[in-house]
Amino acid sequence: MRAPHRSKALTAGVSVWVLIVLLTALLGRTGLVPAESSAVAGPGPLSTPFTSADPVAEADALFSYGEDPARDLQALATLARALVTDVHDYQLLWRAARAYYQVGNDASDAEKQRYFEHGIAMGQRAVAQQPSGAEGHFWLGANYGGLSEIQGIWRALQMVKKVRSEMETALRLQPDYEDGNAYRALGEIARQLPGVLGGNLQRALTYFEQGMRVAPQNMAIKFALARAYLEAGQREASQRLVTEILQMPVRPARAQTDRRTQDKARQLSRK
């Protein structure tokens, strides 16, 4: 278990390892968004204009948060076609950033970078169109995190600052957006980073606890808090949350994600 404070004499090797763990967490293996790899490959922005009367509604109906990668890819294609003619539409832009992130997360290693880079571009355009929109900031931060995982340690450290900035902005604008998951993203940064790089377990606990107040039924935040409590030596509090997680109903629309979280909770209960 990691202690709340890190020694300033932390070795470079440990720092690198912790950063890798951090980036894994930010990319969804802790559940920011579902992250089961399905080796999905697909096109970047398409050049054929869209003809649907409501591409936003169609994309929302298709998008599955990784439960069905083929549908997520269809949602992305729908949005990319619509953006050929509506290049400044905020509702299309942030959804495209979301779709690029999810499809990139599920893509083969060879395909990930271009999806995340497109997602960053869409997120930046969304933020430029509507700086007060939490959606654009949240998904821009997610794509920064996705790209950082595949671009080396030092670039990753720079990206973490961007992830933190975007998630903090999303929280300021709409704390309950995406079921409060910006709290979890920020909590994981604080939990995973070594102290010399800004990590702090107490700060992580604060973020997770705030997230639970905003979204008490968020299974992933509950698990993150349970794990942080265990690392802080609060075993009883951790086990209480694990019990709650295992008793929570699995949401049909997020069945794979919820079952993975419950499996992790069972493993945590044995530590």
pLDDT for 66 beyond 50: yes
pLDDT band at residue 191 under the 50/70/90 scheme: very high
The pLDDT score that the predictor gives to residue 25 is: 38
| Domain-located, residue 159 | no
Domain encompassing residue 27: 10-37+175-271
To which H or E segment does residue 97 belong? helix 90-106
pLDDT for 34 beyond 60: no
pLDDT for 148 beyond 90: no
| Domain-located, residue 27 | yes
Give the predicted TM-score (pTM) of the model: 0.81
Q: Which of the pair, 5 or 213, is modelled with greater confidence?
A: 213
For range 130-159, the mean pLDDT: 90
What does each C-alpha distance from 208 to 59, 67, 95 come to in angstroms?
Answer: 31, 25, 26
The pLDDT score that the predictor gives to residue 51 is: 55
Instruction: State how many domains the chain has.
Output: 1
* Helix, strand or coil, per DSSP, at residue 150: coil
What's the CA gap between 252 and 260, in Å, rounded?
A: 13
Tell me the pLDDT of the chain averaged across its residues. Answer: 85
What's the CA gap between 183 and 168, in Å, rounded?
A: 8
Query: 84-120, pLDDT tens digit by residue?
Result: 999 999 999 999 999 999 999 999 999 999 999 999 9
For CA atoms 258, 262, 267, 271, the dihedral sign is positive
| Domain-located, residue 143 | no
pLDDT band at residue 154 under the 50/70/90 scheme: confident
| Domain-located, residue 142 | no
> 192: domain CATH number?
1.25.40
For range 158-174, the mean pLDDT: 95
Written in H, E and C, the secondary structure of 167-224 is HHHHHHHCCCHHHHHHHHHHHHHHHHCCHHHCCCHHHHHHHHHHHHHHCCCCHHHHHH
Smallest Cα–Cα separation from 137: which of 169, 164, 115? Answer: 169
Query: In this structure, what token pair is assigned to residue 225?
Result: 């808090």
| Domain-located, residue 96 | no
